[in-house]
Homo-oligomer: A and B are copies of this chain.
Amino acid sequence: MPGQFRGQVRRRRILEAALEIFTERGVADATIAAICERAGASIGSVYHHFGNKEGIAAALYEQGLEEHFDRMLSGLEGAGRTGARESVAVLVGTFMDWCLENPEWARFILLMRSGLMHGPEGERFASVNRERLDILRGYLMRFVQGGELRALPEELYLPLLHGPAQLYIRAWMAGRVPAPTPAHRAALIDAAWRAVGVEDRERGGSASPRR
């Protein structure tokens, strides 16, 4: 496979440039010309690597999600032995940390992905995502069996865990609230645990909801 190195570098430059331009102007107002200029690449190069404008966005989206998911998963594997509370903390905390470390990337994924699910890649994205979420759910269900997590409709766990953190991050990115501090992080983890966790005193032998 010839001509690889030059290409991969160029590819990365284009992605970086595109993320900057997207952040500055929004996806809709980002022109291919601007991306070419910033990346020092030609039109042909961009189209060779990504096919079209949506292709650039799709690559950014895909790569970001993958990185984030991998971190979440390896965190979970470590926490799996520690217990349910720790797993919840990993799920919420990893998400927030990743967004804090990659704010532009996170902004793009959370605020701008927009039309990606309509494009031709949409179906593939959806199924990849489904798989990943199934894996996460799988981890959680073990704790439900063990009575450490409350029994709820399966599809509710991820919204309950990630919803508040995701909304807070979005609000931060929109400039409505200050950047999350460790105190916020702890409070959001605590809230997630209240939503799905079973307190020690509540479990006598068998799992069951309270009140």
- Give the total of A residues in contact with B, Cβ under 8 Å: 45
For the complex, would chain A's binding face be called helix, strand, loop or mixed by DSSP majority? Answer: helix
- A71-124 residues with Cβ-Cβ distance < 8 A to B are 111-112, 114-115, 117-119
Distance in angstroms between the alpha carbons of A158 and B184 in the assembled complex: 13
Contact check, A164 vs B160: say whether CB atoms are below 8 A apart: yes
Q: Which residues of B lie under 8 Å from residue A43 when comparing CB positions?
A: none
CB < 8 Å neighbour of A187 from B29, B152, B166: B152
Q: Which residues of B lie under 8 Å from residue A112 when comparing CB positions?
A: 114-115
Q: List 8 A-B contacts (CB under 8 A).
A: A27-B28, A111-B117, A114-B115, A153-B187, A156-B191, A159-B165, A162-B163, A163-B165
Distance in angstroms between the alpha carbons of A115 and B111 in the assembled complex: 8
Closest 9 CB pairs of A and B: A163-B163, A26-B115, A163-B164, A159-B167, A26-B118, A114-B114, A163-B167, A155-B177, A191-B195
Q: Which residues of B lie under 8 Å from residue A126 when comparing CB positions?
A: 174-176
Distance in angstroms between the alpha carbons of A115 and B112 in the assembled complex: 7
